Structure 1
Amino acid sequence: MISKYSKWYHPYKPASDYKKKVAYFSMEFGIDQSFNIYSGGLGFLAGSHMRSGYELKQNMIGIGMLWKYGYYDQARNEDQTLRTEFNEKHFDFLEDTGIEVEVKLHDNPHVKVRAYVLKPEVFGTVPMYFLSTYVDGNDHLSRSITNHLYDSNPVTRVSQSIVLGIGGAKVVEALGGADTYHLNEGHALPAFYYLRDRGVKKDQMVFTTHTPEKAGNEEREARHLNRCGFFGRSLSNDELQNEMVNGDMINYTISALRMSKKANGVSKLHAIVANDMWKDYYGVSDIIPITNAQNQNFWQDQSIKSAWLDKNADAYQSRKHELKRELFDEVAHQTGKEFDPNVLTFVWARRFAAYKRADLLLHDFDRFKRLITNKKYPVQIIWAGKPYPFDYYAIDVFNHLVHQSKNEPNLAVLVGYEIDLSKKLKCGSDIWLNTPRITREASGTSGMTAAMNGSVNVSTNDGWIPEFEKDGENCFVLPALDHNLPVWDQDSIDADNLYNILETKVIPTYYDNPQKWQDIVFSAMDDVIPEFTSRRMADDYYKMLF
């Protein structure tokens, strides 16, 4: 029996503003805790987009990868430091569509790719199709391509892009084709090469760039990609030369920008930075801003929402106290420490990467010690987040924080940073620390969902924050600095400003002026909703990009 999900299908009639058929390609989607095939912010963002697409009745589908081992499971060694585990996942809620396509990978012209559908009624998303090479008839190497999200083997990474891009484009063709093909980051770039050869026009291809970080803008040797089957066919030397930049390289972002009718950055500031980054390359499309956002219905606690809508401070504080206790149960479970819900609680939680500076609070260690031992103004601090499993510098920072927190009763480092823990941290914290070096964070969205739940942002003025901030009224923002300064100087200045803001503004306001604090909490919710919800974002994509 042929499933209705083996053709382009939605369980609703698409709304009149969203009739255009859009296929949304992303290497990761964060949909639900039980579907843990994502690494972090990019996945959370894509998941919220799929949820809001469903809520708005958009004629969109998602195309992703079914990672057999997910990203990784975060555990601890005997000394509490980070241990990475790779455990096989099973998702019984996925349905085999019966759609199977073939892609050419390296010297194998017949690698099978199977599509599994996540139906809208499971988690409240648009229909989503997840691709696997763990298929009967594939050899061992081919079957292993969809084992690990962001595999550390560079040849496997290239193969993953080909499966998502070309395999995904062929699945969309089998479903009836799309009016617009959207790449959420450059991972699925082979889709554009394949579609171009199939007669799909430039005005049907759009692209979102998410980061100014070099590691997020893949660049690989052109002849190697050609041998791998990256372009859907073997390009001639002249054709290949036309695609090369920076010597003999293919830059995924530049190629996507050249083939797109339009592209977007993920905040107003990021669009400026991105246009400047790529302005010297011919033929690239303009990059407009569509600021990232998150799904309010999924991320905001309903009791917090009701208290905010009623502006009922008592109801808010009662619920916040409960949410802090739920978070602190997790702290006790993992660390044996008893945190106090009456104490001001900071959280730093996101992907561990050097530019995000998880350890900025420890930059001046003597001052840090004074902060965490102040009897008049006590604080509690929690860190959480997943380093890339082979980013040994980031893992070292994580482990350094573990060691520093061991003998301090009011410090904790948590593992298992996925959707459930992320919710607990955002709902149970009073302060959301956001410390990237400015111009390096394209958007950042964790602070949006934190603000939805009454956690006040203390942040550098980067990413989405310049569009939101009213310093001292809905958040606290570090003063601007020259981002061209040496990194050490930037860190010293930002750390000094962070201590000053915490010592003279944030902490005294919380303890000495609770009415002012409550005003800041409610003002932040007023300003983050609906402007930084994914209903607005999903609507913007149709109006401005698709």
Structure 2
Amino acid sequence: MTSSQLPPAFRHPYSFAPAYRKSVAYFSMEFAVDQALKVYSGGLGFLAGSHMKSAFDERQNLIGIGMLWKYGYYDQIRRTDNAMDVQFREKIYGFLQNTGVRFSIDIAGRPVWVEAYYLDPKHFNTVPMFFLTTDVAGNDTEARSITYRLYDADSALKVSQCMVLGLGGAKFLDQINYAPEVYHLNEAHALSAAFHLYQTLGSVEAVRDRMVFTTHTPEEAGNEKHDIGFLQRLGFFGGLPLERVRQIAGVDDSIFNHSLVALRLSRKANGVSKLHGEVSRRMWGSYAGICEITHVTNAQNHGYWADTQLDAARSASDSRTLAARKKAMKKPLFNLVADQVGKLFDPNILTIVWARRFAGYKRPDLLTQDGERFRRLMNNRDYPVQMIWAGKPYPFDEGAVRTFNHLYYLSHLYPRMAVLTGYELALSKALKDGADVWMNTPIVPREASGTSGMTAAMNGAINLSTNDGWICEFAKPNGPDQNAFIVPTPGDADFRNPDAHDREHLYRLLEEDILPMYYDRPEAWRALQLRSMADVNAYFTSARMAREYYERVY
């Protein structure tokens, strides 16, 4: 007998708000809820963590299902020559509680034991959350290693991870006799849950009635695909015969596209910004049998990210207190700069930050590609600039690691340039507190949402960005309501060389608009900060996002 109520030991510490009584289980490969719990890699986790906090704030009937990564993503450190290095170190969490639930799923023809740990809402103000691990007694080293490293490079191991999250997560809910009305897949990692649901509920229609899907990938080529026979041998489909799987998933050939099948087996799906919703509908619209694709623009939890003193100054429209507090907020960041790279930054100097996952399409080194112009920018005595980079490349992406190291070695030439390691929640918060300008440089339209600029804006940083993701809904780059600086979208001719187009406009905005305003017209800069903060808090907080998931998707 299953119930729509969690067992008493795991129930929400509040009565549900009337609009949010429908029960939802939210599956995500990563969650960033606190610096102390290192089970995330980047933006997907930051987004999911904020969702769990705002669902708690809004008293929603939602729980989180994730993975307990023994080594986390990785610890970003330096070798003796200061080149970036990757360290996999065991993480131990005294605040997680073993649920006592133990079960097995079949992976590659053999049983693998899974246990679940519980994160009590009282620790980090989240909804009840459960984290699955195979690093348990009864498993051999190979089975234990499934939950060692987030996004392992080995394809069989990565699919096994997805099976633990999907099949394992769905089976865990069965084990505690909990039957949520909605299974929300945050990305397609947990798709195998759909095949468990099919066997439990008995029909594709019943699965669709329960399942919703959020896609974060704006390029068809970036969505995970595998040979369907490979997945069958691993047990991805929970023991269903392959021909039945083909009928359920609508797959006629050998290629199993995880996102496409998720769209076919869900009642509704969403992109993570208005632009991404449009891109997703174009990308998938020609495929048969997909569900409706709407959008819910990503957001971040205001209570976690926003500085309370700065926010009080914003609420009072007190630009002078805001300026003084913002200057004070630079000190902890600059202490980190001094500690990591031995440079003393000046709180009076405009500080630009580029910080997010290091990936080729995000172009962390875009400004430095014009060496002479970058030299002039960094050596400008009239309008001095301090620049900070931070972010974790995927540990096996050699190109991204080379870019990180190139920037670090380049920084030796400039006393006001720093490249920091350890981009996790704590460093991210310090960078957003201390930044005057938050720079974002993805190739349009390859950024689904890109939420880091939201939390920077909550803390008085001004966005300087290409026109992609969430910023398209936020930015007012011209006129009396200006709240950001935006690189215009390239025309047809410029699409052949977007780097040159975007770099030229970034330099023009810095040299002609941003630096003169900051140094010569400080009152105009403070007014710009107030508008930016007001606009980001009006819509881009995850309280709104959590509400919209219930209204638009659940």
Q: What TM-score, normalized by structure 1, do the two folds share?
A: 0.97
The answer (yes or no) to whether the contact 1:60–1:126 under 8 Å persists in 2 is yes
**Aligned counterparts of 1:122 and 1:501: Cα–Cα separation in 2:** 43
**Aligned counterparts of 1:236 and 1:530: Cα–Cα separation in 2:** 49
Judging changes above 3 Å, is the alpha-carbon distance between structure 1 residues 168 and 59 closer, same or farther for their aligned structure 2 residues? same
**Aligned counterparts of 1:543 and 1:243: Cα–Cα separation in 2:** 27
**Aligned counterparts of 1:161 and 1:522: Cα–Cα separation in 2:** 43
Q: Partner of 1:41 in structure 2?
A: 43
SS in 2 for 1:376: coil
Q: Partner of 1:197 in structure 2?
A: 199
Alignment of 1:334-345 (within 5 A): 334-345=340-351
**Aligned counterparts of 2:186 and 2:39: Cα–Cα separation in 1:** 16
Q: Partner of 1:303 in structure 2?
A: 309
The answer (yes or no) to whether the contact 1:26–1:64 under 8 Å persists in 2 is yes
Q: Partner of 2:3 in structure 1?
A: none
SS in 2 for 1:377: coil
Deviations 1:190-249 (A, max 9, x none): 001111221143121000001124574110110000010101114234643763659411
Which of 521, 525, 547 is matched with 1:539 structurally?
A: 547
Matched, 1:432 2:441: no
Q: Partner of 2:77 in structure 1?
A: 75
Root-mean-square deviation (CA, aligned residues, Å) is: 1.5
Aligned length: 541
Alignment of 1:360-375 (within 5 A): 360-375=366-381
| Greater CA drift, 70-79 or 381-390 | 70-79
Which amino acid is the alignment partner of residue 67 of structure 2?
Answer: M
SS in 2 for 1:529: helix
Which amino acid is the alignment partner of residue 495 of structure 1?
Answer: R
Judging changes above 3 Å, is the alpha-carbon distance between structure 1 residues 326 and 215 closer, same or farther for their aligned structure 2 residues? farther
**Aligned counterparts of 2:495 and 2:532: Cα–Cα separation in 1:** 33
Q: Partner of 1:324 in structure 2?
A: 330
Deviations 1:57-99 (A, max 9, x none): 1000000000000000000112222111000000110001111
Deviations 1:31-56 (A, max 9, x none): 10010110010000000000000011
The answer (yes or no) to whether the contact 1:438–1:483 under 8 Å persists in 2 is no
Which of 52, 55, 69 is matched with 1:53 structurally?
A: 55
The answer (yes or no) to whether the contact 2:351–2:437 under 8 Å persists in 1 is yes
**Aligned counterparts of 2:151 and 2:19: Cα–Cα separation in 1:** 35
Deviations 1:436-494 (A, max 9, x none): 0111000011000000000000001100011001104100001111478656x110011
Q: Partner of 2:484 in structure 1?
A: 475
Deviations 1:490-522 (A, max 9, x none): 100110111111110011110111111001101
Alignment of 1:524-535 (within 5 A): 524-535=532-543
**Aligned counterparts of 1:315 and 1:28: Cα–Cα separation in 2:** 38
**Aligned counterparts of 2:136 and 2:512: Cα–Cα separation in 1:** 60
Matched, 1:179 2:181: yes
Which of 100, 107, 126 is matched with 2:102 structurally?
A: 100
**Aligned counterparts of 1:104 and 1:148: Cα–Cα separation in 2:** 20
The answer (yes or no) to whether the contact 1:437–1:483 under 8 Å persists in 2 is no
**1:134 positional shift:** 1.0
**1:407 positional shift:** 2.2
Q: Partner of 1:24 in structure 2?
A: 26
Which of 8, 14, 17 is matched with 2:16 structurally?
A: 14
**Aligned counterparts of 1:153 and 1:313: Cα–Cα separation in 2:** 52
The answer (yes or no) to whether the contact 1:6–1:98 under 8 Å persists in 2 is no
Q: Partner of 1:160 in structure 2?
A: 161
Among the aligned pairs, what percent are the same residue? 51
Which amino acid is the alignment partner of residue 138 of structure 1?
Answer: N
**Aligned counterparts of 1:202 and 1:359: Cα–Cα separation in 2:** 43
**Aligned counterparts of 1:136 and 1:485: Cα–Cα separation in 2:** 58
Which of 393, 398, 406 is matched with 1:400 structurally?
A: 406
Which of 511, 514, 520 is matched with 2:528 structurally?
A: 520
The answer (yes or no) to whether the contact 1:5–1:97 under 8 Å persists in 2 is no
Which amino acid is the alignment partner of residue 371 of structure 1?
Answer: L
Which amino acid is the alignment partner of residue 256 of structure 1?
Answer: A
Which amino acid is the alignment partner of residue 141 of structure 1?
Answer: E
Which of 507, 514, 517 is matched with 2:515 structurally?
A: 507
SS in 2 for 1:198: helix
Which amino acid is the alignment partner of residue 100 of structure 2?
Answer: G
Which amino acid is the alignment partner of residue 502 of structure 1?
Answer: L
Q: Partner of 1:126 in structure 2?
A: 127
Judging changes above 3 Å, is the alpha-carbon distance between structure 1 residues 419 and 218 closer, same or farther for their aligned structure 2 residues? same
**Aligned counterparts of 2:74 and 2:487: Cα–Cα separation in 1:** 34
**1:363 positional shift:** 2.1
Judging changes above 3 Å, is the alpha-carbon distance between structure 1 residues 483 and 255 closer, same or farther for their aligned structure 2 residues? farther
Judging changes above 3 Å, is the alpha-carbon distance between structure 1 residues 389 and 63 closer, same or farther for their aligned structure 2 residues? same
The answer (yes or no) to whether the contact 1:186–1:253 under 8 Å persists in 2 is yes
**Aligned counterparts of 1:318 and 1:215: Cα–Cα separation in 2:** 47
**Aligned counterparts of 1:246 and 1:280: Cα–Cα separation in 2:** 16
Q: Please, which runs of 5 or more residues in structure 1 have no aligned partner? A: none
Runs of 4+ in 1 over 6 A off after TM superposition: none
**Aligned counterparts of 1:64 and 1:58: Cα–Cα separation in 2:** 18
Deviations 1:132-166 (A, max 9, x none): 01111112111110000001111100100100001
The answer (yes or no) to whether the contact 2:220–2:283 under 8 Å persists in 1 is no
Q: What TM-score, normalized by structure 2, do the two folds share?
A: 0.95
Deviations 1:268-306 (A, max 9, x none): 000111111112211111210100000000000111111
**Aligned counterparts of 1:543 and 1:247: Cα–Cα separation in 2:** 37
Which of 405, 413, 421 is matched with 2:419 structurally?
A: 413
SS in 1 for 2:232: helix
| Greater CA drift, 5-14 or 278-287 | 5-14
Judging changes above 3 Å, is the alpha-carbon distance between structure 1 residues 242 and 19 closer, same or farther for their aligned structure 2 residues? closer
Which amino acid is the alignment partner of residue 303 of structure 1?
Answer: Q
SS in 2 for 1:201: helix
SS in 2 for 1:150: coil
